[in-house]
Amino acid sequence: MYTIIEHIEYLLTSHDCVVIPGWGALVAQYSDSRYNPVAGHIERPRRELGFNASVDHNDGLLAQSLVRREGVTYDEAMRQVGLSVSAFKRQLALGNEVPLGRLGYFHSTDGHRIEFTPFDHEQSNDGYYGLRDLNISPLVQEVMVQDEPAAVRATVRRPSWGARIARVAASIAVLLCLTVLLSTPVIVNRNQQDYASLNLPTVTKPQRQVIETKQATPAQPAQPAVATAATPAAPASPLLLDEGGKCLLVVASLNSMKQVEEFKQSHPDLASKMQVSHTSSKLYHVYVARSSSVSHLYALRSELPEAYRNSSWVKN
């Protein structure tokens, strides 16, 4: 089973605009590096994703990606795109959020307008990935006074004769040490054993070897094998639930606790690990892992059953 989300993530790494027919277009916007005098740092150049719902025509880019990777016909690819868009619209009609993999998620504010919120921590499609904002401290300029008072200039004293003589003596001592070190001869012992020998090895006549034969002894009876108890395999490690983290591995977003209970009953394999987070948008996020590390949650996402991998997402 394949989804169009993986193809959208891949296409955005090399295209600035990916159109989802019947839904809208994801557009990459660039911003140059600039200096922020208030914060005192230079902001890095960045590439951010935006969404335009009015551009929903079919340019063939997404369908051709499905044809190349999945090995299906163009008509079948367009049918899969239409099924995915229909599923997106049903989720929004129910008041749920529509996750878009590692890129962000869609949501509706008034029931008709579609908005896209990109993930700030995810820069997989950013060509400037790895760059960080540079903190810089302004230099304090020293103002030099052109006309100093005569009293100030009079206080400046030249080095005394004693200090000058000490500097000259130290310089002479350094020169004498360098002269002794550079004029001392170095004796090199060129021993003949230090060089590699080019003599060929001496070939000796092979000696005759006498092989003694021993009388064969009767074979010992085979010892009965002792059965050993099989070591039980270690149970698979369950999903970790860190109550101190702020990032959630969400498997469903529902409108009421009644829907949450029905969702748990319909998914008994993960019901014991499901927790609920109530947000200000009146949504109940059902999550199975919580951590302060986003990369940790994406690693746990790969351990989920296959039925949850495409629908789960990380919320911070």
Q: 41 in a domain, yes or no? A: yes
Among 94, 117, 134, give the residue marking a domain's end. Answer: 134
> By residue range, what is the domain housing residue 284?
239-316
Q: 217 in a domain, yes or no? A: no
Contact 270, 277 (CB under 8 A): no
CATH number at residue 309: 3.30.70
Model confidence pLDDT, tens digit, residues 218-233: 555 545 444 444 444 3
Model confidence pLDDT, tens digit, residues 125-172: 466 666 777 887 766 544 444 555 555 555 555 667 788 888 888 989
pLDDT of residue 68: 92
Nearest partner of 62 among 9, 124, 115, judged by Cα = 9
Q: Is the pLDDT of residue 9 over 70?
A: yes
| 245 and 129 both lie in a single domain | no
Among 108, 134, 160, give the residue marking a domain's end. Answer: 134
Q: How many domains does the chain have?
A: 2
96-105, 168-177, 307-316: range with lowest mean pLDDT: 307-316
**Exposed e or buried b per residue across 112-145, where buried means at least 16 C-beta atoms within 10 angstroms of its C-beta:** eebebebbeebbebbeeeeeeeeeeeeeeeeeee
Q: Residue 200: phi, psi to the nearest 5?
A: -75, 150
Contact 254, 263 (CB under 8 A): yes
Q: 205 in a domain, yes or no? A: no
pLDDT of residue 226: 43
pLDDT of residue 141: 46
Q: 302 in a domain, yes or no? A: yes
Q: 106 in a domain, yes or no? A: yes
Among 75, 101, 134, give the residue marking a domain's end. Answer: 134
Q: Are strands 46-52 and 24-31 parallel, antiparallel or unpaired?
A: antiparallel
pLDDT of residue 126: 60
